[in-house]
Amino acid sequence: MNEIEKRRLQGILQKIDTLRKEVESLIGDESKGTKKNSGPSEEVRELIDSIGSLSARELENQLNAFGHKELGDIFVGIGGSSGDKRKPKAWLIERIMWLSKEFSESHKSIRDS
């Protein structure tokens, strides 16, 4: 083995050692309590469960109090597409109202007639 090959191998060993240290630090950071998102908040889940018992005005008032992320979670929770959860807040509120109230009430009136 010549001198150039020895230097290359030493360089590789140094890179491996650096990578090992980085991996160890990542493993150490992970054990410090990084937590994954477990889904919608309790408040969002409660609203999704109670949508049927709310009037349209009450629902709209509650939706206006939520932030964009929560509205996206509510939209997906009532059957909306997860691809649309990043649309504007006004659009999300309108679609949530439609899916939860207007759509079901329209179908109910058609069935009753």
Q: Is the pLDDT of residue 112 over 80?
A: no
Rounded Cα distance, 68 and 98, in Å? 17
Residue 64 φ/ψ, nearest 5 degrees: -65, -20
All structural domains of the chain with their residue ranges: 1-32, 42-112
Q: Is the pLDDT of residue 76 over 70?
A: yes
- pLDDT tens figures, 25-69: 888 865 555 555 667 788 888 888 888 888 888 988 999 999 999
Q: What is the pLDDT of residue 92?
A: 94
Rounded Cα distance, 44 and 74, in Å? 6
Rounded Cα distance, 76 and 84, in Å? 8
Rounded Cα distance, 113 and 110, in Å? 5
Share of the chain above pLDDT 70, in %: 81
Residue 40 structure tokens: 């919608």
- What does each C-alpha distance from 9 to 12, 20, 22, 95 come to in angstroms? 5, 16, 20, 61
Model-level pTM greater than 0.75? no
